[in-house]
Structure 1
Amino acid sequence: MPLHVPPAPAPALRSVLVALDSPTAVREARTPSLRTAQGDVTPELPLPLHVLDRIAPDGVAATRLAGWRFLIRCGDRAVAAAETRLTPDGWAFSHFFEGPYIASTERALRQAESTAQPFQARLLSIPGLYMLTLWLHGDSTSDGTTGRPAPTDLLVPLAPAPPGIAAHRAHRVAELLPLLTLRVTPAAPPLLGSPA
């Protein structure tokens, strides 16, 4: 399989396992499907979650690692996800959630497994567009915590994607970033006295 999923830090995984074993954490989560799951639930497919804070004028994307996201599986499907974050004391459980990105992530990972080129799976969040992508990074030996999108990396927008951007279609970073730059860059305010 050419798709590589980097191992999550052991403390991040432990924090999710502890939260799953905590009736309080599960009961207070806004995840009905996790609360009503019948059978064992297990965290799988840890993906480093990077955030694209800005795209520089030269087209270089600055990203930062925001956490690790685990799909929570019950039986043959993912019913929720768990996110961890880095604190001054190390990796800690952040929250459980559910919604359309769970099934969309699973679908994008299945699609990515059929690629001929080896990739490392990551998630890339673009808050300015309310957009989440599966980031297929070309350096499959990386630990997943550092790096920026290379021009030849692939981004697969997850559904729901912003209007005008096709979900589940792989785009080279060099092709998608210019489009995202135009959308993220705020329009200049009109000059006083000019027609709006």
Structure 2
Amino acid sequence: MPTHAPPAPAAALRSVLAALRSPTAAIRGVRSRATAYGGLQPELPLPVHVLTGITGAGGPPSTKLTGWRFLLRGRDASVGTAEAMLTADGWAFSHFGEGPYVRSTETALRHADALPGPYQPRLLSVPELYMLTLWLHSDTAADPAGGTLLPTDLLMPLAPAPPGIAAHVPHRVAALLPLLTHRLVPPPLLQAPA
């Protein structure tokens, strides 16, 4: 069943479009890619959340919306990303990106479309592990800015994933979070024999 992607805030899209037209975009190589690929169009916007409190004793981990990421598509392929972030004055362009997560995001979204059941796609970052996942939220009508991980949600790590965690394989939240917690909590110190 296809995923149900929510629309990005109009101001976030406008900030990305303005950055793509900006002469300073050439500094980051975007202008040359736009020429080489026939112009870049932002598509497949996904809300980006950061996972916090994963090792805390204060209850379940939470997420915080940090921005909206758009894939930048040329004639034949996605070649990068553009991200908008929420500021005190509203949505503003943040940065362009490229690298393995571009293609990995497309691959994960294709896998998600083949899964049974509807999901709302989001991105979930775990900065402590340098990990990015496709978060498949089971409440398709939820506000994309909301940050509650539900037991019925799936997390699909993007490549490159941390060692021992398979990329593009959906994991239930309840199965993956303990594994991530285990990786982030330092092992107890060994005591010298008495």
Using the size of structure 2 for normalisation, the TM-score is 0.92
Gaps of 5+ in 1: none
Paired residues for 1:92-107 under 5 Å = 92-107=92-107
Asked whether the equivalents of residues 43 and 71 of structure 2 are also in contact (C-alpha less than 8 Å), the reply is yes
Match in the other structure for 1:158:
158
CA–CA separation in structure 1 for the residues paired with 2:76 and 2:182: 40
Paired residues for 1:1-196 under 5 Å = 1-24=1-24, 26-29=25-28, 34=33, 36-55=35-54, 56-57=56-57, 60-189=60-189, 194=192
CA–CA separation in structure 1 for the residues paired with 2:160 and 2:32: 20
Asked whether the equivalents of residues 33 and 79 of structure 1 are also in contact (C-alpha less than 8 Å), the reply is no
> Would the alpha carbon gap of residues 138 and 20 (structure 1) be closer, same or farther in structure 2, given more than 3 Å must change?
same
Asked whether the equivalents of residues 20 and 30 of structure 2 are also in contact (C-alpha less than 8 Å), the reply is no
CA–CA separation in structure 1 for the residues paired with 2:35 and 2:29: 12
CA deviation after TM superposition for structure 1 residue 57, in Å:
3.6
> Would the alpha carbon gap of residues 36 and 117 (structure 1) be closer, same or farther in structure 2, given more than 3 Å must change?
same
Using the size of structure 1 for normalisation, the TM-score is 0.91
Asked whether the equivalents of residues 31 and 97 of structure 1 are also in contact (C-alpha less than 8 Å), the reply is no
Structure 2 residue matching 1:3: 3-state secondary structure: coil
> Would the alpha carbon gap of residues 3 and 90 (structure 1) be closer, same or farther in structure 2, given more than 3 Å must change?
same
Asked whether the equivalents of residues 45 and 69 of structure 2 are also in contact (C-alpha less than 8 Å), the reply is yes
CA deviation after TM superposition for structure 1 residue 38, in Å:
3.0
Q: Please provide the CA RMSD for this pair.
A: 1.9
Identity of aligned residues (%): 60
Structure 2 residue matching 1:15: 3-state secondary structure: helix
